[in-house]
Amino acid sequence: MPRTVDRPERLSAISDAVVTIATEHGFAAVTIRTVAERIGASTSLVTHYVGHRDDILRSAVRRVVEARCREADRVVGGTAGPDALRALVEWAVLASDDDHGIHRFWLALVVGSAGEPALREELDVFNSWWDTRLRQALAAAEIADTDQAADLINVVVDGLIIGAFDNGHPWPPHRRQCILTATWSALGVAPREERP
């Protein structure tokens, strides 16, 4: 089989390995050697496919970020007015238990970005996307002071995510929902109607 055929598969396996290692042990633990060990390949095979360590970090982060952005756009798509704002924020903090993994990866990215410019740049790309979407949603919800509202929502979203790790386990959904209800109230956004 010619080498080009399995290239996407190899790249995908390498990115998966980066994400798993970073999620479990932080980005400092991601090296060409640990990635190679994880996929059962030689270090020269890894560098053949992806080049330097920064390249494998960047492409792995970008893949996760792009998938998250697509997911958010799918969840928010079709909503309007304050529903769009609620859908975006709820997607960020309320969704399934699977999110504990993606939140842990995000936390590893935040921590790693302090010492690794490549990670800082990728996180900035994600933050810039988030900021654009959030401001669109705040405009759709007709919130006047978008700067202050964006700050408050960012603090609440970050706080709800980190709270799961501070406590050692995710908060039950109703406690997270109470925080969002207080946030909507502070912003003058009507809470979503209760469903049984």
Which residues contact its own copies by CB under 8 A?
Answer: 24-26, 28-29, 104, 107-108, 110-111, 113-115, 120, 123-124, 127, 148, 151-152, 154-163, 165-168, 171, 175, 178-179, 182-183, 185-186
Choose between 45 and 162: whose C-beta lies nearer to its own copies. Answer: 162
Choose between 49 and 58: whose C-beta lies nearer to its own copies. Answer: 58
Choose between 84 and 161: whose C-beta lies nearer to its own copies. Answer: 161
Say which residues have a Cβ less than 8 Å from residue 156's Cβ, sequence separation at least 6.
Answer: 89, 93, 179, 180, 183
Dihedral sign for Cα 100, 25, 31, 120, please: positive
Beta strands in the chain (DSSP E): none
Q: Give the shortest CB-183-to-its own copies separation in angstroms.
A: 8
Choose between 80 and 182: whose C-beta lies nearer to its own copies. Answer: 182
| 35: Cα within 13 Å, side-chain hemisphere | 32
User: Which of 123, 105, 127 has the alpha carbon at shortest distance from 113?
Assistant: 123
